[in-house]
Structure 1
Amino acid sequence: MIHSSKPKIWYGGDYNPDQWEKPVWDEDLRMFKLAGIDVATLNVFAWAKNQPDEETYDFGWLDEMMDKLHADGVGVCLATSTAAHPAWMARKYPDVLRVGFDGRKRKFGGRHNSCQNSPTYRKYSAKMAERLAERYKDHPALLVWHISNEYSGYCYCDNCASAFREWLQERYGSLETVNRVWNTGFWGHTFYDWEEIVPPSSLSEEWKGLNGNTASNFQGLSLDYARFQSDSLLDCYKLEYEAIKKHTPDIQVTTNLMGAFKELDYHKWAKHLDVVSWDNYPSLDTPFSYTAMMHDLMRGLKGDQPFMLMEQTPSQQNWQPYNSLKRPGVMRLWSYQAVARGADTVLFFQLRRSVGACEKYHGAVIEHVGHENTRVFRECAELGSELHKLGDTLIDARVKSKVAILFDWENWWAVELSSGPSVALKYVDELHKYYDAFYRANIAVDVVGIDADLGKYDLVLAPVMYMVKPGLADKLEEYVRNGGSFITTFFSGIVNENDIVTLGGYPGELRKLLGIWSEEIDALLPTQSNRIVVKSGSEGLKPAYDCGILCDLIHCESAEAVAEYGEDFYAGMPALTVNKFGAGEAWYVATSPEPAFLQDWLTKLCADLNIKPLVAFAPEGVETSLREKDGNRYLFVMNHNAEPSKVSLGEKSGIDLLTDRKLSGNSELAGRDVWIVKLDD
């Protein structure tokens, strides 16, 4: 729990006083009070200001601002400033500069511009973190540490090549093993010396594919390089973490993640974060269920521990193709969406809009006009007042689910490094199709890693589980044998952790659990589709549904076919199967169905498993979530529609914490409005 010294939902965000003259500071503090802001994130990109040369450290501005904020009752999320190295460092120590995918060495510029295996970067970033921890360890404003910012970006320099070889030696022990797990006999790629292994880039094994994914001649090599680069960036984080913990062992440490960000294995990273934080930047047309899934993914990184919403925009973004305004009420609504799904903070980028450079048109609590008489500021102040009223009511409340979707970064890498079967196959999109069906049915879902405790769930899904890691098949068999229900899909059980095919018929190690074997995989063109024809006896389902992308041609062994294909030469072959296994059942969806099928089938399946929706009825565009604390249950109902919507709470009733209004039965929720209902016992 991060809130012991400020027991409420923290409200504020990134503040860059180092970019402004001092007369602006006092005006900012005046408006912070008006907006109800009580937390400021400082020092995110101030390395060049704090360390103008190799020997000099100057924290005078930061001392003054820490003191001023504390005097005004504002706590500090203190960043280490190491997300962009100073220009002097790049000039004096060129090893700090990255080499890109194309083999060219970068010049100074941008951010996330440091090689993660540069001895220079590792030395000076850890030293900066320690200097800050030594200086501010006893400062009363300090609430939480924020290391670097939005870690990202791979490097292909000689330092990375050398470190990669060391990483491989530690992982595999011998070149013979490397040659075997990468199947280097293909195309005569056998390695005879460690020095012959180079990073997979456009100069060696990789290229950018037609679908925007990276394609590779040797997926095992590319998969290991992704693992290595994620680990290398994590090592940089850990160096700063350890330097900070040496001086402030009781203050929590985080770095801001970015939802389904492909480059880094966040499940591995989360083990080294005291609290997960993340930056939420949906577009105007991002499905609300996708944003909800990202919140659930971030919450699931550390079990059901609440997370920090580290960044969102008060209104406009600056980096998307079309930077639309958030309509009136949307900022508040999306803030509560985060809280509903486990956030214990509501923080913005940024508190004052920057005057120049690439983020000068990114929204802020204080706009360029410089006063409080704006729509955005008024909405921020109204939300600040509500969060103050809520106090610590929701702090550390937990979201509990009976359904889990398994999300695995290494599987994601492997699926999209694969040389086939279809460029249309997108791992996260397939997971979202299933998540969206539960979202529309108002059924809570956890999004968790494969190491999660599955025993607390009645239903577990693993769409497109292409890679089956050691022990996973046994774990799933035990879960189902003990009464659990499991669902997986086409293109599952194909390879092991090294992207080597499991021989003997797909779905490999899952064959016994699923009771099927797959003979072929048909890839459909975007203009093609097939049909899922439901067999008789399946109440609640239509006779047929469309499907596409991939179609597995499967044979039932111990499984029963529940639906069949309706078209092409494989018409009549199973498209949906169920296998009784011990006290539970395992389902296989052999194709990518249209959304209506998933909504109908998964709603029916949940009813059969006694997994109940959170409300009796909510129209499309209305979202629900439930948090629990100290025996109390808090039902969030959020209307993403611009117009009012009628919601039925069924047998539930309670008091809306925001309006003190009693709610029960059928009620109307205003457009873009929120209820937080403390439910009656």
Structure 2
Amino acid sequence: MINERLLFGGDYNPEQWPEEVWSDDVRLMKQAGVNSVTLGVFSWAKLEPRPGAREFGWLDRLMDLMHENGIGVVLATPTASPPPWMGKLHPETLPRDEDGRTVWWGSRQQFSHSSLVYRRYAAAITEDLAARYGSHPALTMWHINNEYCTHDWGDEAARAFRDWLRAKYTSTEALNEAWGTAFWSQRYDSWEEILPPRRAQYMKNPAQVLDFKRFTSDALLECYLAERDIVVRHTPHIPVTTNFMPFWTGQDAWKWSGHEDIVSVDVYPDPKDPWAGQYNAMIGDMTRSQAGGPWMVMEQAAGPVNWRGVNHPKPPGLNRLFSLQSVARGADAICYFQWRQSRQGSEKYHSGMVSHAGEHGRTFREVARLGADLARLAPEVAGAHSPSQVAILHDWESWWAGQQDGRPSVHVEYPEVVRAWHHALWEEGVATDFARPEGALGAYAVVVVPHLYLLTDAAIDNLLAYVRDGGTLVCGFHTGAADEDDRVRPGGMDARLRELFGIRTVQEWWPLDAGEAVECEGFRGTLWSEELEAAADAEVLVRYKGGELDGLPAVLRRGRAQYVSTLPEPEALRELLAGVTREAGVRPPLSGLPAGVEAVRRGAFVFLLNHGRDPVTVDVPGSHDDLLSGASIEGSLVLGRYGVAVLRP
């Protein structure tokens, strides 16, 4: 990624500490193998304590200190958290919620993405940072803002929303057609009548809500691009990123990632989740796919977080396991929030690389061990990439549309459906990419679609072409029901898809209650079922048993395209997808692995990761060297609790 290194470090907030602590920080960073720190993320009030003032002296000293000790700096623009003076002097910079209430200062991210005043101040501080530090030898990367997640339903957002709609539709007549405003007398005669979807008497117009989500993502992207363009003008040779939050609805990350030099993510698996390793793998696969290659863990936790109901620490070894799992899945940077655990403020119970226990604490010892691991891996692994043969289709706009009020089932949570399908492939050891429905799919032997309620005509044409060209497609329930305006397609599914899968008609959708299941031949379905009539040339693979759908197709296939009208229980979904991938010639890096052991190929190397608490013996054909331990492996090896080996062939 950068100088063929694996970056290791995290957010460093030294302004929270007396300056005499800084030298001790550097000593411990060098001891732990830290080679990168992120500075300035939440420093706007310190850099600009009053409008137009600039206090850079403390940051000058820090930049010099890092360079003197061989530690690179990812320099952040501080625009995620405006100073209190901005909200006081310019209340129009503050966002408003759906009820019109002002979101005040006193926390963070209290800015309206559409406020021209906020944008002017953000551009000014970014301009001065880039001018001052663009040539500093410590600077290795720019980090714009932080976790873009602000929503705003206020007057500033209303003005910008109307401008966005004018650009998209050009006329209110076209907007009325797209939004279906003939329903409930919602027709708009002028642009000025249009507001963000604020609190309403009853259900809101779902097409309006969908467009507002699109607008919000675009408005935040405009903020990012404005700051990015400033730093690129000063330092065209320095890469730029901003950190995504995984599976968060507020940004269309497919659109955003094309504007980043390095795609980065914040990932916080719950250590109490028995399948946290699968979640971490899924986020790694998704982020690598957005990047098209190596990517960056911008934030993770060395121990507990502070925002769950109960915040559990990571047991010994789990932090190392998750970190090396990310490297296995293409990460070239492993970083944390944050370096030293805060003693005050809202995140004082969020862990740091140096915890409240200090350098003699278990957390720091484990961090230092990981730093040594990454130093050993970097010369061989950094920059390596392995293509996948299977893609999972994922689309933010389909997710947004499927969240609407008045939908068939509130129990259908899109991220959980996607996770179930990824989990089935992960347990089978099948490497997966994520792909957008309109994207290039020809390199994949198998494409799976867990659930895409909304599909554009271009996406449907893309799927048809993929199957026509020899690809294997497996599609989950309630897919292709609506077009890009959230208009239900005739027949309840696009006619081209019905022909593709061998579905003559979709008579009814039969969502299931929480905890309810439907019997099928060979397994039980959960969450959803459908009343389908198969076409004459379709092959019915599985039928429903009993109940209202008795004898009707649950899974059917026409040629290389297969449709699954329910969510099979986990083992059944795993078996279904295992059969499809094996038939398509897809094989895991190693077979016959013990339960809980994951094998991931990166470049020429195979990472073996034990997600269990007990040691296991893994059969490994042939002779290999373990890059981590330096041991020679003949035939088998033992992985300890949360153990990892990286095998060179």
Q: In which range does the TM-score fall when normalised by the shorter chain?
A: over 0.9
Please name the residue that 1:566 is paired with.
Answer: 545
Cross-structure match for 2:409: 422
TM-score, structure 2 length as denominator? 0.97
Q: What one-letter code is carried by the residue in structure 1 that aligns with 2:287?
A: M
Question: Is 2:427 aligned against 1:440?
Answer: yes
Quote the offset at 1:54 in angstroms. Answer: 1.3
Shift of 1:504: 3.6
1:173 equivalenced with 2:170 (yes/no):
yes
**Greater per-residue helix proportion:** 2
1:452 aligned counterpart, secondary structure: coil
Tell me how far apart the structure 2 counterparts of residues 467 and 16 of structure 1 sit (CA, whole Å): 43
Residue number in structure 2 paired with 1:525: 513
Q: Mapping of 1:93-492 within 5 angstroms?
A: 93-203=90-200, 216-286=203-273, 287=275, 288-303=277-292, 305-369=293-357, 371-417=358-404, 419-492=406-479
Q: Distance in 1 between matches of 2:219 and 2:616?
A: 49
**Cα displacement (A) at 1:664:** 4.4
| Counterpart-to-counterpart distance in 1, 2:579 and 2:39 | 50
Q: Does the CA contact (< 8 Å) of 1:265 and 1:409 recur in 2?
A: yes
Structure 1 residue matching 2:381: 3-state secondary structure? coil
The share of aligned pairs that are identical, in percent, is 38
Residue 217 of structure 1: how far off its partner (Å):
2.8
Q: Structure 1 residue 39: deviation in Å?
A: 0.7
1:427-473 CA-partner distances (Å, limit 9, x unpaired) = 11111111111111111011122233200000001121211113111
Residue 209 of structure 1 corresponds to which residue in structure 2? Answer: none
CA change 1:404–1:418 in 2 (3 A) is: farther
Match of 2:534 in 1: 556
- Equivalent residue number for residue 591 of structure 2: 616
Change (3 A) 1:438 1:60: same
- Between the aligned partners of 1:374 and 1:142, the Cα distance in structure 2 is 31
- Provide the C-alpha distance between the structure 2 equivalents of 1:506 and 1:33, rounded to a whole number of angstroms: 59
Q: Give me the whole-angstrom Cα distance separating, in 1, the residues matched to 2:186 and 2:528.
A: 31
Partners of 1:195 and 1:652 in 2: CA distance: 72
Distance 2:549 2:368 in 1: 61
1:619 Cα deviation from its structure 2 partner:
2.4
Distance in 2 of aligned mates of 1:291 and 1:447: 14
The 8 Å contact of residues 518 and 526 in structure 2, kept in 1 or not, is answered as yes
State how far apart, in whole Å, the 1-side matches of 2:477 and 2:287 are: 26
Deviation per CA, 1:570-598: give whole Å up to 9, x if none.
Answer: 21000001111xxxx10000111111111
Equivalent AA in structure 2 for residue 594 of structure 1: E
Count of residues in correspondence between the two structures? 645
The equivalent residue for 2:554 is 575
Go from structure 1 to structure 2 and tell me whether the alpha carbon gap of 1:626 and 1:656 turns closer, same or farther (over 3 Å shift): same
Cα deviation, 1:130-182, whole Å, max 9, x if unaligned, reads 11111111111000000111110210111111111110111011111111111
Match of 1:90 among 78, 87, 90: 87
Cα deviations by residue, 1:7-63 (Å, 9 ceiling, x for unpaired): 321111111111111111111111111111111110010000001111211111000
1:309 & 1:575 partners in 2: Cα distance? 40
Q: For each residue in 1:534-589, what CA deviation from the matched residue of structure 2 results, as whole angstroms up to 9, or x when unmatched?
A: xxxxxxxxxx1111221111111132101100021221000001111xxxx10000
Answer with 633-642 or 550-559: which moved more.
550-559
Q: Which moved more, 1:222-231 or 1:397-406?
A: 397-406
- Compute the TM-score of the two structures, normalised by the length of structure 1: 0.93
Secondary structure of residue in 2 paired with 1:347 = strand
Matches of 1:188 and 1:546, distance apart in 2: 44
Aligned mates of 1:428, 1:277 — CA distance in 2: 20
Deviation at 1:199, TM superposition (A): 0.6
* Contact 1:400 1:626 (C-alpha < 8 Å) held by counterparts: no
Distance change (3 Å), C-alpha of 1:225 and 1:59: same
Backbone CA RMSD of aligned residues? 1.4
Q: Tell me if structure 2 keeps the 8 A contact 1:89–1:96.
A: yes
Q: Which residue of 2 aligns with 1:545?
A: 523
The aligned counterpart of 1:497 is 484
- Residue 22 of structure 1: which of 16, 19, 22 is its match? 19
1:635 aligned counterpart, secondary structure: strand
Alpha-carbon distance in structure 1 between the residues aligned to 2:251 and 2:95: 17
Q: Which amino acid aligns with 1:609?
A: A
Deviation at 1:294, TM superposition (A): 1.0
SS at match of 1:659: coil
* C-alpha spacing 1:387/1:108, structure 2 compared with 1 (3 Å): same
Give the deviation of 1:418 after TM superposition. 5.1
* Conserved 8 A contact 1:502-1:509: no
Instruction: Write out aligned runs for 1:602-681 (5 A).
Output: 602-628=577-603, 633-649=604-620, 651=621, 653-679=623-649
Query: Judging changes above 3 Å, is the alpha-carbon distance between structure 1 residues 418 and 642 closer, same or farther for their aligned structure 2 residues?
Result: same
Equivalents in 2 of 1:423, 1:335: separation in Å? 34
Secondary structure of the equivalent of 1:455?
coil
CA contact (8 A) 1:262 1:413 kept: yes
Q: Is the 8 A contact 2:567 2:573 kept in 1?
A: no
Shift of 1:663: 2.6
In structure 2, distance between residues paired with 1:302 and 1:347: 17
- Partner amino acid, structure 2, of 1:655: D
Tell me if structure 1 keeps the 8 A contact 2:438–2:458. no
Matches of 1:492 and 1:653, distance apart in 2: 47
Distance 1:493 1:508 in 2: 9
SS of aligned partner of 1:486: strand
* C-alpha distance in 2 between matches for 1:115 and 1:508: 42
CA contact (8 A) 1:507 1:518 kept: no
Q: Which whole-Å CA distance do the structure 2 matches of 1:428 and 1:399 have between them?
A: 25
Shift of 1:103: 1.4
Give the match for residue 211 of structure 1: none
